[in-house]
Chains A and B, each alone.
Chain A
Amino acid sequence: MPGKNMGWCPGCGNYKLLDSLKEALPELGIDPRNLVIVSGIGQAAKTPQYVNAHMFNGLHGRALPAALGVKLSNRNLVVIAESGDGCMYGEGGNHFLHAIRRNYDITVIVHDNMVYGLTKGQASPTSSMGMKTPVQVNGVMLEPFNPLAVSLALDAPFVARASVGDGERTKEIIKQAISFRGFAVVDIFQPCVIFNKLNTYLWFKENTYYLPDEYDPTDRIQAFAKATETGKLPLGIFYRKEGRKVYEDLLGITDTPAYEHTVSEEAFERMLDGYR
């Protein structure tokens, strides 16, 4: 949103992610009046403040349940849930697991900068072991959360990773995720230039590579192998499984939005008759 007073630091990876998203949306022909971006709390969660689209900026960790409510109440809307690694994988970890199980048709964009920025530099669930912070004074001791492996374990039908350093490829992955019918997870590497001195633009560039063209994204076992690779980290679409029924269909939800819900008088009378 031009002229908006941006809440991000100069050089923040969020700007690049925002650019990719804002390019992707019109290229997909999405009408802003038909798009809802649901977010949690944190710097990444401010993204929808700067996009011309409907916004439900909820609570820390709770983007996915709120997005569920939106999608199930008006399935005609395009719904994106967007937040950072702390919000989606930490505070919202339980929701992340169960959201994948539901497989509702939304796109989940996670800004993964491997650190807590807004709370000033503590470890995030994806921080590398050994990284020192004001709280993890002897270095991070916990094994990092692997969002791709977890998603694959729960058979999320679309699992991808991008890196904001490559805006064009990031945009393409976002476009594929939004176009995908089902629960699409996109973990996006992005540097925090203030608090993460380890995972910088250069670090991401030197420590990632794209899955080769001949990679078969329908092979879940191979996707799992790629998601658990150590050393250089793969980018691209790890897994893509078409045809899994979405939750809206399983629930039998029609195209009629909830704001047009009516109560069948006949069914109501019949219900009361059942209590005689």
Chain B
Amino acid sequence: MRHYVNDVSIVFGGAAGQGVQTIADGVVTVLKRNGYHVFACTEFMSRIRGGSNSTEVRVTAEKRRAYVHRIDFLFALNEEAIDHLHERIDDDTLVFVEKSLMKRSADDARFIDTPLAEFAKEAGKAIFSSTVAVGVALGLLGVAPDSFFDYLAEQFAPKGEAVVESNRKAAGLGYGFGREVAERENIRVDLEPAGGTKDALLLDGNAAMGIGAVAAGCSFISSYPMSPGTGLLTFLAQKSNDFDIVVDQAEDEIAAINAALGASYAGARALVTTSGGGFSLMEEGVSLAGVTETPVVVHIGQRPGPATGLPTRTEQADLNLALYAGHGEFSRVIFAPGTLAQAVEAVQRAFDLAEKFQTTAFVLTDQFFLDSVAPVARTEIVRLPIERYIVKTSADYRRYAFTGDGISPRGVPGRGDGIVKADSHEHDESGHLTENFGIRHRMVEKRLRRLDALASESLMPETFGDIRSAGAVVVCWGSSRGVLEEALAVGGREDIAGLHFSQLFPLHPAVEGMLDGKRVHVLENNATGQFADLLRREFDVTVSGRILKATGEPFAVEEVVTALEEV
């Protein structure tokens, strides 16, 4: 008997354009609506059509937010998918494939001949094969197809009742086949829906970031498309009419950030989104934001570099880029959300702190995070109040007036009687350029002083396990949260606690005490351990071990469980 308890990993693999995403969307939505914990993540090649892509859908009894290497059921839409994923196919993997598509021998008990095309044609058209596939998956899991029928009605209503009906037929054929295979192969899935996800929102990282930006009152985005940063630009463009957001596709990233700074100077909450390569071009803008004290939010969707690197893959290797971006010395804030709900909140915090402290606020994500899908409860969607910190100026207004905390009241042109002079040169309080060394000294100090206040407002890391009794602490940040949380939970190492940082800079001074006396290890999806180095720089922490991965893939739960054995 094939017995699956509380955790099933289903992978859909095929070429770009074959419907992998459509199938995964259907499966995830139906399972979510039935109250199951689901999580999906996607890997794909840098192609428009063709290549070999896959989406992993996990159905679990516990809430899980990580990638597993293991595949229980593989739906291969072409033979290449089997080659592409061969390292993940083991003795226990069942492969659902149309054997007629295979050139090599399909004489293998693990291969289940799955006539997707035949059922699709029977239902009406070859294009319905995605619907058949969802039906088969639901049949295997034993999830009644009723809510899938409803979903199909929503999806295809605009195309007419006949299309809806044909899809329902395709779904029914697939479902029946799935049940039949479950019976024949003696497949038993023990997985109760936990409930609570039915009314949840089904978001991916892009949507979470976008919802955060809308909630923050972002009114201006200028960006140049670059994977995986483009999703946020697209999201806000889609919502621009509903929320009066100005969207400008810039001629290059340099224009993008300079336009954002102009917009912010004039009173907009302005955002740019890009990836590491595009951000390299934006660096001068970060420096300009620094000297002019102009708020701006920068989203860097990380992917592996250097240069073009692996355009559609994932990595956490641009922390140093954000941390040290821009010539000169000035403040900044860096967030790295680890959950979708954290992303919604982090973007709002980024806008708030950027304006409150007149600085650049970064939000670091990555391809794995942006393309991962999970339910988020409505109650988890945090709304922060929108406070603008913009003053109405009087005739004697001085943009860079010296104040106790280094933050000058921020005026914008056209609001009040004052004149607002923002200057990229070193400047005096009124914003006129100066080469007075005394003023220069005070301005440098003014621009850096806010770092202390920023640190005291910094988010503390989230803890997994009992940190007081633990001898060792494994530190992670950003998208590595889910894999560490799960590996600690299933690895059974109660002597290890996990810490997840969703804010990387500045660090709260109390972090030092949390690490004091512990063996500190880090888990980072990069080759060198950039956050480990930051911890050492900030708190003189001795880092005992670094669990690193820079292949372009996210960490799998299995490899982190193994790595934790060495901690």
Contact residues of A with B, CB < 8 Å? 4, 7, 32-34, 36, 38, 41, 46, 48-49, 52-59, 61-62, 64-70, 72-74, 76-77, 94-95, 97-98, 251-254, 256-264, 267-268, 270-272, 275-276
The 5 closest A-B pairs by CB, nearest first: A69-B262, A259-B267, A69-B263, A66-B262, A258-B268
Taking CB atoms, residues of chain A closer than 8 Å to B259 are 65-66, 68-69, 72
Is B270 part of the contact surface with A, judged by Cβ < 8 Å?
A: yes
A259, B388: Cβ atoms under 8 Å?
yes
| B-side interface size class | 35 or more
Chain B residues within 8 Å of A61, by CB: 254
Complex Cα–Cα for A70 and B422 (A): 12
Distance of A69 Cα from B417 Cα, bound (Å): 22
Question: Is the CB of B522 closer than 8 A to any CB of chain A?
Answer: no
CA gap between A26 and B515 in the complex, in Å: 64
Expressed in whole angstroms, the minimum distance between the Cβ of B328 and any Cβ of chain A is 12
Please tell me if B413 contacts chain A, counting CB pairs below 8 Å: yes
Name the CB-closest residue of B to A40. Answer: B424
Min CB distance B75 to A, Å, is 25
Kindly list 17 other residue pairs between chains A and B, CB separation below 8 angstroms, not including A65-B254, A263-B243. Answer: A33-B417, A33-B418, A36-B413, A57-B424, A58-B262, A62-B254, A65-B259, A69-B270, A73-B246, A74-B412, A74-B414, A257-B267, A257-B412, A257-B414, A259-B412, A270-B242, A275-B202
B234-267 near A? 1/0 per residue, CB < 8 Å: 0000010111101010111011101111111111
Q: Give the CA-CA distance A258 to B415 in the complex, in Å.
A: 11
For residue A97, which residues in chain B have a CB less than 8 angstroms away from its CB?
251
Residues of B within 8 A of A252 (CB): 241
In the complex the two chains form, is B258's CB within 8 Å of A261's CB?
A: no
Chain B residues positioned under 8 Å from A68 (CB to CB)? 222, 248, 255, 259, 262
Q: Please, what's the 1-or-0 string for B412-456, where 1 marks a CB less than 8 Å from any CB in chain A?
A: 111111111111110000011100000000000000000000000
Contact A94 B252 (CB under 8 A): yes
Is B211 on the interface with A (CB-CB < 8 A)? Answer: yes
Which residues in A have their C-beta under 8 angstroms from that of B200? 276
Write the chain A residue with the least CB distance to B260.
Answer: A69
Contact, CB under 8 Å: B261 / A263: no
Q: How far is the CB of A220 from chain B (nearest CB, A)?
A: 24
Find the residue from A7, A54, A268, A276 having the highest chain B CB count within 10 A.
Answer: A54
Give Cα A95–Cα B378 distance, bound, in whole angstroms: 43
Q: Which residues of A contact B561 (CB under 8 A)?
A: none
Complex contact B258–A62 (CB within 8 A): yes
Given A257-B267, A259-B415; A57-B260 close (CB under 8 Å): no
Give CA–CA (A102, B324) in the complex, Å.
Answer: 34
> Taking the complex as formed, is B553 at the interface, i.e. its CB lies under 8 A from any CB of chain A?
no
Asked if B273 is at the interface (CB within 8 A of a chain A CB), the reply is no
In the bound assembly, the distance between CA atoms of A66 and B423 in angstroms comes to 12
Best-buried of B33, B266, B388, B432 by chain A (most CB within 10 Å): B266
A188, B564: Cα distance in complex, Å: 68
Q: Does B106 contact A (CB under 8 A)?
A: no
In the complex, what distance in Å separates the CA atom of A67 from the CA atom of B265?
10
Query: Smallest CB-CB separation from A37: which chain B residue?
Result: B421
Report whether B267 and A38 are in contact in the complex, using a CB–CB cutoff of 8 Å.
no
A259 to B201, CA, bound (A): 30
Closest A residue, CB atoms, query B254: A62
Q: Is the CB of B268 within 8 A of A272?
A: no
With A69-B262, A74-B267, A253-B246 as contacts: A59 and B288 at CB distance below 8 Å: yes
Interface-facing stretch out of B181-189, B213-221, B330-338:
B213-221
From the candidates A73, A263, A272, name the one contacting B381 in the complex (CB within 8 A).
A272
Q: Which residues of B contact A7 (CB under 8 A)?
A: 433
Q: In the complex the two chains form, is B258's CB within 8 Å of A66's CB?
A: yes
Point out the residues of chain A lying under 8 angstroms from B412, CB to CB: 74, 257, 259
